[in-house]
Chains A and B, each alone.
Chain A
Amino acid sequence: MTAVPVIHLAAAHTLRIPSGELAQRARERFGGELRRAGSFAAGPAGALGILWTSSHGALAAAHAALDEGRGGAPVMPFTFIATQPHLAAALLARQARLARAAFVHVERDSWPSLLHVAAHWLRECDEVLVGWVEEGAEKHGIAQSDWCLLRRRPAPARCEPLAEGAGETVSSGEWIARLAAWHAARRDALALRAGGEAWRFVAA
């Protein structure tokens, strides 16, 4: 097997917002900055990759489009466009040089396999965002947006694949939350496994 290139974890972040508060929270967070095009508009300098998943994709938009089209009625353009979740990458492309981008659906407990894909992308990208996003309907009314930022150059933690069977079993949907908590606590090492994958994260 080809050696996995050395990759580093620069950051891990989780967000849980009740669906009913999502619009207001987004306005509070981004409204002013969007008008001024301040720091929010500044993306990373190097080539970025973005690889993210969710269980159903744009579920609310898909239901809205199906409702509109029921009985043969036309589906309105923006309703149809909203069914394609990868379009989020086009928004990011305005702020960063996106070298690779893919929205994927993985099988249960297969999220850690995306770390291998990201490791390969880091041959041509300086950084890769790997995420898990869920609309509220999938998580009992709580919208989820979890991301980790992986880097080719040294960062606070090194990521290493382990032999199958090593590490603590954690459902793959909770990996980024565990990484974020570990990162914040600045402990020495964390080993996780799920779906036949195991990875160790070691503080630099």
Chain B
Amino acid sequence: MEVLLRAAALASALGDVDAALERLEGEPLALPYYAIPVPGEDWLARAGTIARSVAASLRQKAALSENEWAAMPCLVGSSSHDIGALEDRQHPVLDPPAAFARRLADWFGVRGPAMSVSTACTSGLSALGIAADLVAAGRCRHALVLGVELANRLTVSGFAGLELLSPHAARPCDRRRDGLALGEALAALVVSTSGTWRIAALSSVLDPSGLAAPAPNEAVIAGSMREALSSAGWQAAEVDVLKLQAGGSLSADLAEGRAVRDVFGTPPRSVSFKGAIGHTLGASGPAELALLMGTLHNGRVPPTWGFSLADDAVGLDPRAGQVSAKRVLFNLAGFGGHVAALALEKST
């Protein structure tokens, strides 16, 4: 059974999908952290406000009946869940992450089973994979996928301890890049038997050296892209747009650049969103997918914020421009060696 992306919605530092894409055409922001501009001292109440806002937007775009909407299972991808609530002492003990998934499902008004998937930065894409499995297996016709990464001190402190953060801002693929900038996002997708973009393939590869290596292995990244292309039945030259993982890391951007040149020779039109909304970790799959769907709908790839000086060693040159895309490839890589590539084809 075919599985398609039906609708997407987002809360990010730049607002929802339409606001973010409009802002991307203006003067770039350069921030060390990209927070969603929703105030609130109470972590859970703020999370609920953000979630309900995204739910309202998604519900309108998905155009499902009341019953279809409510029956959806809810697959949540996150690396930190609601640990921010514990830091703020709203919970005396750590909630089971499945309870946070149920809380999110309630905020979205869906009553199907709730499950949380944890594979670090690829969590949201792993959740998408399981949702697609459920739809393909006929277990449901529509499934809700959430990518959720909201502010907490533990994540920032952990990334700072690993010396992965830029003191300035994210500069994906740029010669001056000096690390990641983290961000918040709550993104939502409806995966369905009908929609605008067909999931042609989702490759998910584990780098055996991922635990100890400073960056994803370029051969593993290239292998992931080749596997997705092969499963989709595409040649590399048929890809119209490539969404890069690139987040401004010295070594990871270099590895991805080498992998892309290895697979494509001359890379297709490419874009990274991590200079715009930050690296949103477990939410990055659904968040960047929501921006990519908006991009494709508008027929224009936006500028990659933070990129202006090409690095010959990376060899990638993400530029804005008009595009009429039929096939796109979406790269994502995560902590611990998880590398994924999603192939999407425009539904006829």
Contacts and interface: CB of A to CB of B under 8 A. Distances in A.
B154 A66 contact: yes
A102 B96 contact: no
B204 A77 contact: no
A69 interface: yes
Contact of B336 (A57, A62, A84): A84
Contacts of A204: none
Contacts of B336: 81, 84, 86-87, 89-90
Nearest to A95: B208
A176 interface: no
A62 B118 contact: no
Given A2-B136, A90-B206, A98-B206, A85 B118 contact: yes
A103 interface: yes
Interface in A28-73: 55-57, 59, 62-63, 65-66, 69, 72-73
B120 A116 contact: no
Interface string B129-166: 11001101111000000000000011001111110000
Contacts of B12: none
B83 interface: yes
Nearest to A94: B208
B158 A87 contact: no
A80 interface: yes
B38 interface: no
A69 B137 contact: no
Interface in B169-209: 204-208
A100 B206 CA distance: 8
B337 A105 contact: no
B98 A106 contact: yes
- Chain B interface category by residue count: 35 or more
A86 B120 contact: yes
Contacts of B129: 100, 102
Contacts of B133: 117, 120-121
A117 B138 CA distance: 11
A55 B205 CA distance: 26
Nearest to A121: B133
Contact of B210 (A73, A93, A104): A93
Interface stretch (B42-50, B53-61, B109-117, B250-258): B109-117
Nearest to A62: B94
A105 B207 CA distance: 23
Given A103-B119, A121-B133, A80 B113 contact: no
Contact of A57 (B97, B134, B154): B97
B158 A80 contact: yes
B280 to A, nearest CB: 16
Given A66-B87, A120-B136, A106 B115 contact: yes
Interface residues of A, number: 49
B310 to A, nearest CB: 32
A107 interface: yes
B338 interface: yes
Contact of B208 (A80, A87, A90, A100): A90
Nearest to A1: B138
Contact of B118 (A69, A79, A105): A105
B101 interface: yes
B236 interface: no
Given A75-B157, A76-B161, A102 B117 contact: yes
A142 to B, nearest CB: 18
A57 B87 CA distance: 18
Nearest to A138: B96
A80 B152 CA distance: 13
B86 interface: yes
A19 interface: no
A109 to B, nearest CB: 10
Nearest to A65: B154
Contact of A80 (B115, B134, B162, B206): B162
Q: Which of A55, A100, A105 has the most CB of B within 10 A?
A: A105
A120 B137 contact: yes
Given A2-B1, A93-B207, A102-B129, 14 more contacts: A1-B139, A56-B94, A57-B118, A69-B153, A74-B160, A76-B161, A80-B154, A84-B336, A86-B119, A93-B210, A93-B337, A101-B206, A104-B116, A104-B118
Interface of B: 1, 79, 83, 86-87, 94, 96-98, 101-102, 113-120, 126, 129-130, 133-134, 136-139, 153-154, 157-162, 204-208, 210-211, 335-338
14 contacts: A2-B1, A62-B83, A66-B154, A84-B336, A85-B118, A86-B336, A87-B335, A91-B211, A102-B130, A103-B117, A104-B116, A104-B117, A105-B115, A116-B134
